[in-house]
Structure 1
Amino acid sequence: MRRFGRTLAAAAMALAVVAGTVGWAAGDGLQTAVTGPPPGASAWRADSASGRPLPDPATASPYEVARFFAGLNEAGRRDLVRRHPLVVGNLDGAPVALRYEANRLAVAAAGRAHYAPLAAPGRQVLAFDPRGRGQVAEVFGDLERAAHVAVVVPGSDNDAATHDAGRAPHTGPAGMARALHAAVGGDTAVVAWTGYTTPVGVGLDAAAGRLAEAGAVRLARFTAGLDAVGAPDPVLFGHSYGSVVCGLAARHTDASDIVVFGSPGVRADTVAGLRTRARVWAARGPSDWIADVPNVAFAGLGHGADPTSPAFGARTVPASDVRGHTGYFVPGTRSLAAFAAIAKGQAR
């Protein structure tokens, strides 16, 4: 009974899992995960190109999408961008440059002031979905010619509006991606992937896996889309609740490496439990409050073993000079240097 009581108490504490980047703010109710094909899919399905049916966003694989666009001429591609920007901009397997163009149109059409910066010249938006709190994926570097690709998966309190919001430097999805891109050099593209519905603050969403499960499906399809357009196998960087997403997606991606940091757990007891061929790395700074979150899994709450524990079996990322929960990408830190080496395939 005493052991059960300790387990129950630990599970109750797991409700305080905070998987994001803004601290111990109160939760804002359960979030509805945005899933399925993007807005405009019905009109897309009813259309055609050169007499050919368009690939169904709900059922066509990214590889089928890539083959479809390869069979269109430039005029046909741009016509689809003009008629269906939200679909083309979110269609994994579509040509990268075409998605950038489509998302510039989609962001402008959204008509919301907090999205306007995403349409600025030079921004490379690879996905934009205005449903719910909004989702976005932004590329830093030349994805079409990159020798290496990294994908940053953020935690709670991130969405299309806060993706690049003013906050401490080198934090938030865009801030982390920019810092990593600056550290790796020109042959590596970095994607800030705010491509799933994240929890808001503290609450059941942060302690449970429901949103991470939905996010893992989207992340796996996103990485398949990268593969379909000829991009190198990516390195996934999962911060906080984003590490839960990466853990659940691990077996379904072609990632070469998976790096989790500030992680409450990845819903696996060991690296072997992730069922991935990727190398798995883990980091936690000495003052990261995530260390106070119980590593339990009980009645669907909590995310399991500590990925930085020796028993888990991940490779260690040095993080002794990291401050707090969001300091992993600060220039000059050992963690950022290690992240850059992993992203470029130079770490052993």
Structure 2
Amino acid sequence: MGRLGRTLATAALAVAVAAGTAGWASGDGQEPVTGPPPGTAEWRAATVSGHRLPDPATASAYEVARFFAGLDRAARQELVRLHPQVVGNLDGAPVALRYEANRLAVLASGQSRFAALASPQRQVLAFDPRGRGQVAEVFGDLERAAHVAVVVPGSDSDAASYDAPRAPYTGPAGMARSLHRAAGAGTAVVAWTGYTTPVGVGLDAAGGRLAQAGAVRLARFTQGLDAVGAPDPVLFGHSYGSVVVGLAARNTDAADVVVFGSPGLHAETAAGLHTRARVWAARGPSDWIADVPNVEFAGLGHGADPVAAGFGARRIPADDVRGHTGYLVPGTRSLAAFAAIAKGEAR
């Protein structure tokens, strides 16, 4: 078999192995949610205190931050009341204002599947009901934290299911809560389900289309954190979420990039991510992702194995991790290492 034939066979095997080890559930291809939030047309037509409002599609997070800094409390509250969906998703807007706006936006959606997010105890930093829904929730005090971590989940994550009952310490909210408890009060952790994830293990999961769209949104989100004075974040990417993190890394100010249960980052080496962040990788001994060949061809596969010695990432101990989702279970060496990295204590 020639080189092309071997490559094609390996790419086919990658999809076949994923189907056999995780259950084939391709469903319909997902259309990524992109662009500014709902309500943008009304926002663009409005003014406050005689000022035009920053365009959510074109204004940088820093421009948004400067705009809100120039408003008094009454003007800010008027924008929250009239445009909660825009304010709640506007990177660069004050954190507390976004929490308030998103409570209103969740209630205004009228969808029972999102109702729990409207609780006054929840700190929802972003909420978009389009498609399967997207959400970012903060655990800890983001405005005063000395350290910030962002957890980016993989397939089957959305606003309705991200905090659904499941095995403890899995799913976006479960992972973020566990990391926050392990890292302590000085670290704020964001569960960022801010992109359209694949459903099941199929062509969407095997390709990079959704990850590329997600990477744009993640880079914008981290710019918003920087614009409001948050520390440089640590990005944690699980499974397909690691693909998103790998593609976004060069356009963020991340202090560290941590990937676990990763199928690849669309880079042959850590240096290929073109980031100044330190790059870390973990994979447990029973994680089925190890059975997926690390190839990238014709839009399928995600490239080199991040835990391979030649990739150049710092290896995180994960010998006591069970399965594909056990990395943040209390008592595991991986969670202890993740917490140290999140707090800036790992070397």
In the superposition, the TM-score normalised over structure 1's length comes to 0.98
Change in CA separation of 1:219 and 1:18 when aligned onto 2, cut-off 3 Å: farther
**1:49-99 deviations in Å (ceiling 9; x for gaps):** 111100000000000000000000001001000000000000000000000
Contact 1:17 1:203 in 2 (8 A): no
**1:276-304 deviations in Å (ceiling 9; x for gaps):** 00000000000000000010011111000
Q: Tell me the equivalent position of 2:62.
A: 63
Alignment of 1:215-230 (within 5 A): 215-230=214-229
Q: Tell me the equivalent position of 1:314.
A: 313
Contact 1:17 1:264 in 2 (8 A): no
Change in CA separation of 1:18 and 1:213 when aligned onto 2, cut-off 3 Å: farther
Alignment of 1:292-311 (within 5 A): 292-311=291-310
Q: Tell me the equivalent position of 1:124.
A: 123
Q: Tell me the equivalent position of 2:75.
A: 76
Distance 1:25 1:204 in 2: 10
1:113 Cα deviation after fit? 1.1
The one-letter code sitting in structure 2 at the alignment partner of 1:4 is L
Q: Secondary structure at the match of 2:230?
A: coil
The one-letter code sitting in structure 1 at the alignment partner of 2:136 is A
Q: Tell me the equivalent position of 2:40.
A: 41
In the superposition, the TM-score normalised over structure 2's length comes to 0.98
**1:138-171 deviations in Å (ceiling 9; x for gaps):** 0000000000000000000000001101100000
Contact 2:85 2:127 in 1 (8 A): yes
Q: Secondary structure at the match of 1:127?
A: strand
Q: Tell me the equivalent position of 1:170.
A: 169
Distance 1:187 1:73 in 2: 30
Contact 1:14 1:293 in 2 (8 A): yes
Alignment of 1:89-168 (within 5 A): 89-168=88-167
Contact 1:209 1:300 in 2 (8 A): yes
Q: Secondary structure at the match of 1:183?
A: helix
The one-letter code sitting in structure 1 at the alignment partner of 2:93 is A
Q: Secondary structure at the match of 1:27?
A: coil
Distance 1:240 1:77 in 2: 39
The one-letter code sitting in structure 1 at the alignment partner of 2:127 is F
Distance 2:2 2:221 in 1: 46
How many residues end up aligned between the 2 structures? Answer: 346
Alignment of 1:26-37 (within 5 A): 26-37=25-36
CA RMSD of aligned residues (A): 1.2
Distance 2:275 2:201 in 1: 30
1:111 Cα deviation after fit? 1.0
Q: Secondary structure at the match of 2:309?
A: coil
Contact 2:134 2:193 in 1 (8 A): yes
1:16 Cα deviation after fit? 4.6
1:202 Cα deviation after fit? 1.6
Distance 1:195 1:118 in 2: 15
Q: Tell me the equivalent position of 1:339.
A: 338
1:18 Cα deviation after fit? 5.4
**1:222-278 deviations in Å (ceiling 9; x for gaps):** 000000000000000000000000000010000000000000000000011000000
Change in CA separation of 1:17 and 1:131 when aligned onto 2, cut-off 3 Å: farther
Contact 2:17 2:291 in 1 (8 A): no
Distance 1:205 1:124 in 2: 30
1:5 Cα deviation after fit? 2.6
The one-letter code sitting in structure 2 at the alignment partner of 1:206 is A
Distance 2:70 2:302 in 1: 45
Q: Secondary structure at the match of 1:122?
A: coil
Distance 1:72 1:267 in 2: 43
1:24 Cα deviation after fit? 2.2
Identity of aligned residues (%): 79
Contact 1:90 1:99 in 2 (8 A): yes
**1:3-34 deviations in Å (ceiling 9; x for gaps):** 43322111012225759xx9424111110000
Change in CA separation of 1:315 and 1:293 when aligned onto 2, cut-off 3 Å: same
The one-letter code sitting in structure 1 at the alignment partner of 2:73 is E
Unaligned runs of 5+ in 1: none
Contact 2:22 2:288 in 1 (8 A): no
Distance 2:127 2:43 in 1: 17
